[in-house]
Each structure stands twice: as structure tokens, then as C-alpha cells.
Amino acid sequence: MIYLTSFIFCGLVCLIGQLILDNTKLSAGHITSIFVIVGSFLDTFSIYDQIINHVGAGALVPITSFGHSLIHGALAKASDMGIMGLLMGMFDLTASGITAAIVFTFIFTLFFRPKN
């Protein structure tokens, strides 16, 4: 069951992105940025947390979860530290993803050359 909900939710997010890409002049960069903003907006009032509870990892895979992780870490820190906590905890949860992407990119660019 959780596989089905994962499939449907992640598929629907991609479907919406594809519809925006095909029917407007926005590029893929615009759409990913918009989706990140939507993700952080949805988590402002903990809606995205509810979605993750119901849908499973299917809600963590789309880029919307990046925005959710950013604001989630910031708010968790802000509950201890007040308004400065927003700045201190911003990358708490996304640190692993960003670091992994940077490290893997660096390693692979050392070993591989462009194809054409």
C-alpha cells in the first residue's frame, strides 16, 4: 500500500512539473525553484509532515522535500534559540544531501571526461 501511495504522490509531483514545463515558457530551473518554495511553504504549518507520514518515502524523493527539510531544521533550532536559530539550523537536515552531491561531483569530475 505504501508503495502505491509513494508511486502516486511522486508521480503526481512530476506530472505537475511536466505540465508546467510543456504549457508555459518556464524552464526546468524555474520549476525546481518554484517546487522548493512550495515545499517550504507547505511545511510552515506542518502540512508536509502529514504528507510524509501518509505517503512514505515517495514524499521525500521530490525536490519539494528539500524545502521542507530546510525549514524543518530551521524551526527545530528556532524553538530552542529563538530567531537566531533560524540561521543556525537551516542546513541541519539537508547537509547530508548537499555534501554528498558536492563530494560525489568532485570525485566523478576528476575521473570522467565529457562524452562529446
Residues engaged in binding other proteins (CB under 8 A) = 2-3, 6-15, 17-19, 21-23, 28-29, 31-33, 35-37, 39-41, 43-45, 56-58, 60-63, 65-67, 70-71, 74-75, 78-79, 83, 86-87, 90, 96-98, 100-102, 104-106, 108-109, 111-115
Identify the burial level of 92 via C-beta atoms within 10 angstroms of its C-beta, where 0-12 means exposed, 13-18 middle and 19 or more buried.
middle
Measure the CA–CA gap between 75 and 78, rounded to whole angstroms. Answer: 5
Quote the least distance from Cβ 1 to other proteins, whole Å.
Answer: 11
Q: How far is the CB of 50 from other proteins (least distance, A)?
A: 16
For cell 501511495, name the residue: 5
Angle between helices 47-55 and 28-44 (to 10 degrees): 100
CB of 82 to other proteins, least distance (A): 8
